[in-house]
């Protein structure tokens, strides 16, 4: 690919790159920082393209925020998932705050100056540890020589790795990258690596549990016993559960979750988000709270504790496995009612009246206009929105504002240091008449 020389880099944009303009053309530049002058190796370009993409490969004028990358393997031409590792953590958080503000303004047409500066909070001891050793879950794939690695950014090429510095120490201690560790395991095998807070590291290869003492042997095809009469055989991998303990403002909470199901990746994220949601909702005994996209019950359980046996929490989740885990996690919380359903306007309307507060933690695509409109029609005193995508958050907040709610608080959380990802917790309250 061609190289553009002496490019002055502009402001950050959602997705982990900065915006540069070269002869009137927009170029999205990764591995850079605002104000730098760099040479850009183009990775996606062409005369017919609306914009180009590239990596900063030579730095002529460096930002004061730049330093040695904490994960060089995720640098230019490397794997995805560490595109800000060359910046100081404080600068990464300023970057994320600027992107969220710009996205809310540009997509949601929301001016939230009344809230003051947007703060992206660090978690736990991240600053002291330089944002390393945070991830309790990583995904790997074996290359053609059965070496563990990750995909090159925007590619299906596997880059073999010798380490993964963003993983928690328990994963590092499992020695997954030792030479020859995966000999005999077919290339292309996908590895899910999980380090739960309670229990040992779990490794699944294409959904099958791995004995790390002898991976190839533990994954070898076995002769299946003849199924008993009346039972159906199944080739589906057995479900593997792990246990998580979360220390929160309402006490220690214990969860059983599917090893490959959704759970917050940062070791401190579950506790940080639970406390943030509780502080935003301010639930009181006897109240009714709705928890949408409730998963295995991360928020449902503390909300149920907070409203007590005289209150009620309605949790809505479409994933059967997650609901099965939630039933276990809430077995001694009769005030929690689980609804196995997709979150739609009809489901929200079916919840009826008398809702004091709503918590929603939608997927990256957001909740959508119809669902948010239905939520506002319930007229809860507070809606607490946990968002993993600024663009979806901007769209959904705009809908709520158009239907009589104001954004009264917004905080960011740095759940993925060294990447562009940022989690936000927004609070909406009915507009005063």
- Domain CATH code at residue 52: 2.40.50.140
Residue set of the binding site for S-adenosyl-L-methionine: 264, 293, 317, 361
pLDDT at residue 46, as a whole number: 87
Say which residue the tokens 């978690």 belong to: 123
pLDDT band at residue 231 under the 50/70/90 scheme = very low
| 202 belongs to a structural domain | no
pLDDT at residue 432, as a whole number: 82
DSSP letter assigned to residue 408? E
pLDDT at residue 230, as a whole number: 41
Say which residue the tokens 């669902």 belong to: 371
pTM of the model: 0.94
| 44 belongs to a structural domain | yes
Averaged pLDDT for residues 369-386: 98
Domain ranges, residue 43: 3-66
**In the chain, % of residues over pLDDT 90:** 92
pLDDT tens digit string along 405-429? 999 999 999 999 999 999 999 999 9
Where is 302: in which H helix or E strand? Answer: helix 300-307
pLDDT at residue 47, as a whole number: 84
Which of 278, 388, 394, 415 is catalytic? The answer is 388
- Nearest Cα residue to 357 out of 409, 399, 312: 312
pLDDT at residue 48, as a whole number: 85
| 32 belongs to a structural domain | yes
| 220 belongs to a structural domain | no
* Confidence check: pLDDT of 68 > 80: yes
CA distance 340 to 390: 27
| 334 belongs to a structural domain | no
18 counts as catalytic: no
Count of structural domains, the chain? 1
Token digits of residue 104: 């809310």
| 17 belongs to a structural domain | yes
Where is 377: in which H helix or E strand? Answer: helix 369-378
| 126 belongs to a structural domain | no
| 62 belongs to a structural domain | yes
Those residues whose C-beta lies under 8 Å from the C-beta of residue 123, and which sit 6 or more positions away, are 134, 266, 268, 269, 272, 413, 414, 415
Contact 316, 293 (CB under 8 A): yes
What backbone phi and psi angles, to 5 degrees, belong to 251?
105, 175
- Give me the residues paired with residue 7 across strands: 38
CA distance 223 to 273: 46
């Amino acid at each position: 690919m061609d190289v553009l020389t002496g490019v002055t880099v502009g402001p950050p944009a959602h997705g982990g790159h900065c915006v540069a303009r070269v002869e009137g053309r927009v170029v999205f530049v990764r591995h850079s920082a605002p104000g730098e002058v760099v040479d850009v190796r183009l990775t996606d370009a062409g005369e017919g393209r609306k914009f180009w993409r590239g990596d900063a490969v030579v730095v002529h004028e460096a930002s004061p925020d730049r330093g040695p990358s904490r994960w060089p393997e995720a640098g230019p031409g490397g794997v995805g998932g560490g595109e800000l590792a060359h910046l100081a953590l404080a600068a990464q958080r300023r970057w994320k705050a600027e992107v969220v503000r710009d996205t809310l303004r540009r997509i949601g047409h929301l001016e939230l100056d009344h809230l003051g500066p947007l703060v992206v909070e660090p978690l736990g001891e991240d600053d002291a540890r330089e944002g390393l050793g945070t991830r309790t879950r990583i995904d790997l794939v074996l290359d053609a020589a059965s070496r563990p690695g990750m995909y090159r950014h925007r590619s299906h090429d596997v880059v073999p790795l010798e380490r993964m510095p963003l993983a928690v120490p328990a994963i590092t201690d499992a020695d997954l990258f030792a030479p020859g560790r995966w000999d005999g395991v077919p290339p292309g095998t996908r590895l899910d690596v999980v380090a739960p807070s309670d229990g040992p590291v779990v490794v699944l290869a294409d959904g099958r549990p791995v004995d790390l003492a002898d991976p190839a042997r533990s994954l070898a095809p076995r002769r299946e016993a003849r199924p008993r009469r009346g039972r159906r055989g199944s080739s589906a991998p057995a479900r593997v559960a792990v246990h998580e303990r979360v220390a929160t403002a309402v006490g220690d909470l214990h969860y059983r979750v599917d090893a490959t199901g959704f759970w917050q990746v940062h070791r401190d994220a579950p506790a940080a988000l639970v406390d943030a949601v509780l502080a935003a909702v301010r639930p009181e005994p006897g109240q009714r709270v709705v928890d949408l996209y409730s998963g295995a019950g991360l928020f449902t359980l503390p909300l149920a504790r907070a409203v007590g046996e005289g209150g009620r929490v309605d949790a809505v989740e479409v994933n059967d496995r997650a609901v099965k885990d939630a039933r276990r996690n809430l077995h001694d919380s009769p005030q929690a009612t689980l609804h196995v359903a997709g979150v739609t306007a009809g489901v929200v309307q079916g919840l009826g009246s008398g809702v004091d507060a709503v918590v929603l933690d939608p997927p990256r695509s957001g909740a959508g206009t119809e669902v948010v409109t239905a939520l506002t029609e319930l007229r809860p005193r507070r809606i607490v929105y946990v968002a993993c995508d600024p663009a979806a958050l901007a769209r959904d907040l705009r809908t709520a504002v158009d239907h009589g709610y104001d954004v009264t608080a917004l905080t960011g959380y740095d759940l993925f240091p060294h990447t562009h990802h940022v989690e936000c917790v927004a609070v909406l309250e009915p507009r005063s008449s």
